[in-house]
A and B are shown apart, each in its own frame.
Chain A
Amino acid sequence: ELKVEQNPLFLSMQEGKNYTIYCNYSTTSDRLYWYRQDPGKSLESLFVLLSNGAVKQEGRLMASLDTKARLSTLHITAAVHDLSATYFCAVGLSNTGNQFYFGTGTSLTVIP
């Protein structure tokens, strides 16, 4: 079974600082997704990365994908309190069509 690991699991950072969340996965995949979940809410799609070297940016968040290293990163630039949430990466397996596997999630708290 595909394993998806995120680190760190918990991250507390001050406003204005930069940090990176890492997502490693155990088998070949060409589809990597990042989601955000606010407390008591559902998951919201942030980024879709579909090829090696893909980079997507939205506001203070930037995601990248290295399929050879089986690694995706979510970089946070100059964090603000509104970014406090849990972030999940998810991997889709092409050979099994519709199956998605999620990482353990990274709980981010941005301190004013």
Chain B
Amino acid sequence: ETGVTQTPRHLVMGMTNKKSLKCEQHLGHNAMYWYKQSAKKPLELMFVYSLEERVENNSVPSRFSPECPNSSHLFLHLHTLQPEDSALYLCASREWGRSNTGELFFGEGSRLTVL
């Protein structure tokens, strides 16, 4: 596989469930991101992992928990979500450094519906 792969592509869960979204990048990049895309809202940066450091958006609720076991894999653990968390969750990766363009490469997204 090439690029950035996200699984599952679609997920329906109840508010009491626990699930995880998975992202894998095959580009050799050193930074990975989670974004939330809701209808009629800008893309919201949730978490960034780069060079083993984590940056997070302080407005993201604690019911979202990221995990980055290595530079190629990124997870988003979900628990006790709310209906307003229904959205498209996009994973992206990039190579950070002054000598490159640093553009983000996105996966196809995981469409989450919380009932």
Contacts and interface: CB of A to CB of B under 8 A. Distances in A.
B75 interface: no
Interface of A: 4, 31, 33, 35, 41-45, 48, 50, 88, 90, 92, 96-105
Interface string B78-114: 0000000000001010101000011111111100000
27 contacts: A31-B102, A33-B103, A35-B104, A35-B106, A41-B108, A42-B109, A43-B90, A43-B92, A43-B106, A45-B104, A45-B105, A48-B103, A88-B43, A92-B102, A96-B55, A97-B96, A98-B31, A98-B33, A98-B48, A98-B50, A98-B55, A98-B96, A99-B48, A100-B33, A101-B45, A102-B35, A105-B42
B76 to A, nearest CB: 16
Contacts of B42: 4, 102-105
B108 A42 contact: yes
A33 B103 CA distance: 7
A103 B82 CA distance: 25
A45 B48 CA distance: 19
A38 to B, nearest CB: 11
A2 B21 CA distance: 28
A104 B42 CA distance: 4
A26 B102 CA distance: 21
A92 B92 CA distance: 14
B90 A100 contact: no
A90 B96 CA distance: 16
Contacts of A48: 101-103
Q: Max chain A CB contacts within 10 Å: which of B41, B94, B103, B109?
A: B103
A45 B101 CA distance: 11
A30 to B, nearest CB: 11
Given A98-B48, A99-B48, A100-B33, A50 B101 contact: yes
